[in-house]
Amino acid sequence: MRLRLQLFRAFRCVYNPMSCSSLKGEDPSESVTTVDKVVCLESARPRMGVGCRLSRALLTAVTHVLIFFWCLAFLWGLLIFLKYRWRKLEEEEQAMYEMVKKIIDVVQDHYVDWEQDMERYPYVGILHVRDTLIPPQSRRRMKRVWDRAVEFLASNESRIQTESHRVAGEDMLVWRWTKPSSFSDSER
């Protein structure tokens, strides 16, 4: 009964032209005309005490600050991850260039040995060079560096040719050192 009385007073208050309150029923678009259909009271200008206003303002401010710091922490973590990734890519590229130098040295030394009749063939198997330069326990870790070095040599190094030869009954990819041509008389 007491609840019904309070609803009735609220209902009378809503029809006051100075009030910014409205009663809401099941369907928010329809106006409520009887106390039985009231579900909730909505106010455009609620009356709140100073303590309530301060606590809501503080909660809103703290929420905004926390969201800002979470975003800042996410961006900071992203920056750290990108720096780490860039450093790893630079290290991998440097390792690739070092591997290219080692491969060139091995192929060139093999060719020099062949010229001195110390080697049987003027070419050397690509997998043989890999097995010579990379110990077995490091091959999985160095696979990407090796593949990039082989690709770099195939596309950028004119002194090394990649060929396919039959060695011991198996087709193998091999590298052959090609001597740089000597200067012609017209270039001197």
Q: Does residue 164 fall inside a structural domain?
A: yes
95 and 176 in a single domain? The answer is yes
173 and 98 in a single domain? The answer is yes
Number of domains making up the chain: 2
Q: What is the CA radius of gyration of the chain?
A: 41
Q: Does residue 27 fall inside a structural domain?
A: yes
Report the first-to-last Cα separation within the chain, whole angstroms. 116
33 and 98 in a single domain? The answer is no
Q: Tell me, yes or no, if the pTM score tops 0.85.
A: no
34 and 97 in a single domain? The answer is no
Specify the pLDDT at position 61: 96
List per-block mean pLDDT (blocks of 10 residues) for the chain, which spans 188 residues. 64 54 74 74 71 89 98 98 97 94 91 84 87 91 93 88 81 83 48
Specify the pLDDT at position 1: 63
Task: Quote the domain boundaries for residue 9.
Answer: 2-43
CATH assignment of the domain containing 144: 1.10.10.1180
Specify the pLDDT at position 186: 46
Query: CA 25 to CA 64: how far, in whole Å?
Result: 34
167 and 97 in a single domain? The answer is yes
Specify the pLDDT at position 184: 45
